[in-house]
Structure 1
Amino acid sequence: MLQKLNLDYILFLDIETVPEQEHFGNLDDDKKELWEQKSRYQRKDEFTAEEFYERAGIWAEFGKIVCISVGYFNFKGDIRTFRVTTFHGEEDTLLKEFKNLLNSHFSGPKHMLCGHNGKEFDFPYIARRMIIHGIDLPYKLNMFGKKPWEIPHLDTMELWKFGDYKHFTSLKLMANVLGIPSPKEDIDGSMVREVFYKDKDIDRICTYCELDVITTAQVFLRLRNDDLLVDSEIKRI
């Protein structure tokens, strides 16, 4: 089935998120109370709400997107390229730019979005943050009234589950077991908050995000038994 999908109709993506405020103390009293209630189950008695706030970027209600990296295949005869770019800056601006990309180049009936754990995280997170900013949802993210088979989303982690709903496999682990060369990342997801707020190095975060997009595309190729991308085929734009 995967082999029947046209690769140039798929937009691969990944997002990086951080807590909406740098410090818990920057929240107003209502938001502090809501955070304490929201995080109670996850932190249990091991952390206070303030101590746990560094993880707030996981929730769209308490976090924000600092970049969206995308990648897509382009074919000209026998020449295959994978083009990668990143939207970053103020969140409402990058969301609008991402929406413009979807509407102008990936809005057709055969176009699909693909991420690793995208159905659980990236896709709903982007949609929620768009609604928070008063941005109308693009068709590819608007799930209201659609039947499951009408939702144009692919998820490499879900494809790896083969119906096993309790199975979680990280992108890094999938790349390892599938023999995909590991990208030379100098940070991981747990470091994004510090790199954004303390180091103020958005370029470093964007590079990390782009590498995950490339790895997601490589995993998808392996799931199809296609040849992996080589460095000369990857173009950053």
Structure 2
Amino acid sequence: MKKLKFSASPLQGLGNLDFSQFLKSQIDRIRDLGETELTDQQLKTLVAMLLGSTTTFDTVMLRMHKNAYTEELTALDQIRSNSIRAFMKALRGHDLSLDPAIIKEITYIDALLKPHDNLHSLSLDEETSIINNIIGHLEKPNYLAPVALLGLRSCIAQVKKDNQTIWLKYNECITADMERDITDSRELRGQICEEYDLLCDYVYVNARLGTKPEFAIVFTIIETLRKQYLLQAGRNAERKPVI
């Protein structure tokens, strides 16, 4: 009988995203063996069961994110878009100026805005973060003169206000949805952990007994990925600041 031992499973300590990725990485590697190497029917059944539960878990996580996009949030997003258009219209209204000082300040602000031409294509949280960053720059001392000269102060204040409003509502929606779904997601995580343990136990026993060559291969796949995630978890812990 072979002497084998799995490293500790990192599953319980993983966040939802890493939890899913950790499982799918092993499932994919095992399924990649194909029909020739993967012949044990019970092993196939356990892998398929775990894949189904993990897919359901991903669906729950996706629903929690999508449910945050309520009608009210969509309306607030439109209000913010109107504020941004008003800001851009005020800025572009100076494009035909013959004053070199004004043209210089427009160019200065354009340089800040240019990298973010694709705002409309980003997710709500990414867009909000970038707008917040732009506003932060426009409020710095080196932008005070251009903003004042071009008369943009009130437009910037409105964009800032609308950006903060939608961010607060977004977080409110996310929090409410998580509270509704947390029981389902927690129970599902528990179920998946049990299915994963069952798969690992089955592989471990058969690998030790040497019943089929495929079990030694699957054991190595599981063990290798466990070690990788444990190593990464250790690195992440080292990076945490001491408070």
Bigger RCO (CA 8 Å, 6+ sep): 2
Task: Identify, as 1 or 2, the structure richer in helix.
Answer: 2
Task: Identify, as 1 or 2, the structure richer in strand.
Answer: 1
Task: Please tell me whether Structure 1 or Structure 2 has the larger radius of gyration of its CA atoms.
Answer: 2
